[in-house]
Amino acid sequence: MLDIKFLINNKDAVKENIKKKFQDDKLPLVDEVADLYAQIMEAKHISEDLRAQRNKLSAQVPVLMKEGKKEEAEAIRAQVKENAVIMKEKEALMDELTVRYEDIMKRIPQMIDASVPIGKDDSENVEVERFGEPVVPDYEIPYHAEIMQSLGGLDKESAGRVAGEGFYYLLGDVARLHEAVLAYARDFMIDHGFTYVIPPFMMHKNIVEGVMSFEEMEAMMYKIEGEDLYMIGTSEHTMIGRFVGQMIDEKTLPLTLTSYSPCFRKETGAHGLEERGVYRIHQFEKQEMIVICKPEESMDWYNKMWKLSVDLFRSMEIPVRQLECCSGDLANLKVKSCDIEAWSPRQKKYFEVCSCSNLGDAQARRLKIRTKGENGTYLVHTLNNTVVAPPRMLIALLENHYQADGTVNVPEVLRPYMGGKAVLTPVKK
């Protein structure tokens, strides 16, 4: 959400930003919200003036009564009542206008960074750099669900009977590998100075509205019927929500946190071949990294964070690339974002495994997360990035370490978390 004063003083820039995001239907909202703000401020000033008059006039009544000037006192009382009626009308108008004003402000996108490539959707995202050599072996690599099943590690049929499509059972070595990846990712982040956190897995609506756009909320979130609770789609939500309304001690910045959580998503409109396996699902687990910092430090942290993802995947001998998200692919609260994509030797292409985002002060403004320095109070900046999100990450691991005989090599860094096991062997039927 933008600062309204910035919007009013930079209408052309805000409109140009909307055009860059290919959301031209929102262009009229800029002038509308500026007009609404002016009306709110006018009603507020009138109300404040009337309140001041009321207090001044009310103080005269007992004095006049004491002096025996009853008629004058009654006239003043009548004026006070009349002012009270007008004041009530103005306050009601303010409330009505504010609802519309806040709704519009939440729909106008954050100003994107000048370095963001311009494009309509994810098809126009830009590859920046590759890390590791993408290899296609001279033997066939099965579909990831088939690899898991050959290892005795996946049961989607039973999950379908229990919970429907988009759910799964992981078993045996595959389940153990899943947890090994999470444990390794946790320790990797701790070793890089991040504090480990396990947050709440549900949150109130005001937190949802503070961390994401309405469009994202409708497409992603599961609501608990009859309660003001939503299940998280990522731990970033409650990790940032932890600081709602807080004044953070500037001396503690930056806050570098890494969190574990299950995640729940509707995945509305998900279709295609990959949905047969565990690529796009309603429930998964994830290790996340979150940074809360000073504004001038946020872009440096953005670059540090996506590079941590690269280092993590390369330590497991998985080739990856960084893909810069174009303007039309950025969610409305994001200033800049990139995906880290892992190589799929079966598909002979890369696919998303991490998403790193700098949200500037957008979340902090909505949730009123501030800090105070020598130059006064200001909003912090928030950033987030996926560390790992198995079981999707397992797809990359299994495919890149699959051998011609059907075995899967366990990356050396994961072996301590697998009881020393170096190879996963197919289960004999």
Provide the pLDDT for residue 273. Answer: 36
Coil vs helix vs strand at 33: helix
Residues 203, 239 contacting (CB under 8 angstroms):
no
CA–CA separation, 197 vs 255, rounded Å?
A: 12
Using pLDDT thresholds of 50, 70 and 90, give the confidence band for residue 429.
low
* Residue 272: pLDDT over 70: no
How do beta strands 255-264 and 195-197 pair?
parallel
Q: Same domain for 266 and 210?
A: yes
Using pLDDT thresholds of 50, 70 and 90, give the confidence band for residue 269.
low
Of 107, 136, 154, the domain-final residue: 107
Evaluate whether residue 116 is within a structural domain: no
How do beta strands 154-155 and 195-197 pair?
unpaired
Q: Same domain for 95 and 132?
A: no
| Residue 10 neighbours by CB under 8 Å, 6+ apart | none
Q: Same domain for 272 and 146?
A: yes
The overall average pLDDT reported for the chain is 93
* Residue 268: pLDDT over 70: no
68 vs 35: which has the higher pLDDT: 35
Provide the pLDDT for residue 53. Answer: 83
Evaluate whether residue 113 is within a structural domain: no
Q: Same domain for 168 and 77?
A: no
For the chain, percent of residues with pLDDT exceeding 70: 98
Provide the pLDDT for residue 103. Answer: 93
Of 60, 80, 107, the domain-final residue: 107
What are the angstrom distances between the C-alpha of 141 and each of 250, 404, 405? Answer: 52, 8, 11
For the chain, percent of residues with pLDDT exceeding 90: 80
We report the CATH number of the domain holding residue 320 as 3.30.930.10
Give me the mean pLDDT over the 44-59 stretch.
85
Written as six digits, the tokens of 271 are 């279709």
* Residue 165: pLDDT over 90: no
* Residue 337: pLDDT over 50: yes
* Residue 275: pLDDT over 60: no
Provide the pLDDT for residue 79. Answer: 84
pLDDT in tens, 404-417: 999 999 999 999 99
pLDDT in tens, 385-411: 999 998 889 999 999 999 999 999 999
Evaluate whether residue 279 is within a structural domain: yes
* Residue 186: pLDDT over 90: yes
Evaluate whether residue 112 is within a structural domain: no
Q: Same domain for 101 and 141?
A: no
Using pLDDT thresholds of 50, 70 and 90, give the confidence band for residue 101.
very high
Residues 266, 297 contacting (CB under 8 angstroms):
no
Using pLDDT thresholds of 50, 70 and 90, give the confidence band for residue 77.
confident
* Residue 260: pLDDT over 60: yes
Q: Same domain for 180 and 282?
A: yes
* Residue 151: pLDDT over 80: yes
We report the CATH number of the domain holding residue 9 as 1.10.287.40
pLDDT in tens, 347-356: 999 999 999 9
* Residue 315: pLDDT over 50: yes
Evaluate whether residue 147 is within a structural domain: yes
Q: Same domain for 217 and 93?
A: no
| Domain span holding position 364 | 122-424
Neighbouring-strand partners of residue 352: 341
Number of domains in the chain: 2
Provide the pLDDT for residue 320. Answer: 98
Element (H, E) at 394: helix 392-400
Rounded-to-10 torsion of CA 192, 194, 195, 200: -130
Residues 319, 214 contacting (CB under 8 angstroms):
no
Exposed, middle or buried by CB within 10 Å (0-12, 13-18, 19+), for 296?
A: exposed
pLDDT in tens, 321-330: 999 999 999 9
Provide the pLDDT for residue 76. Answer: 83
pTM: 0.90
Give me the mean pLDDT over the 95-106 stretch.
94
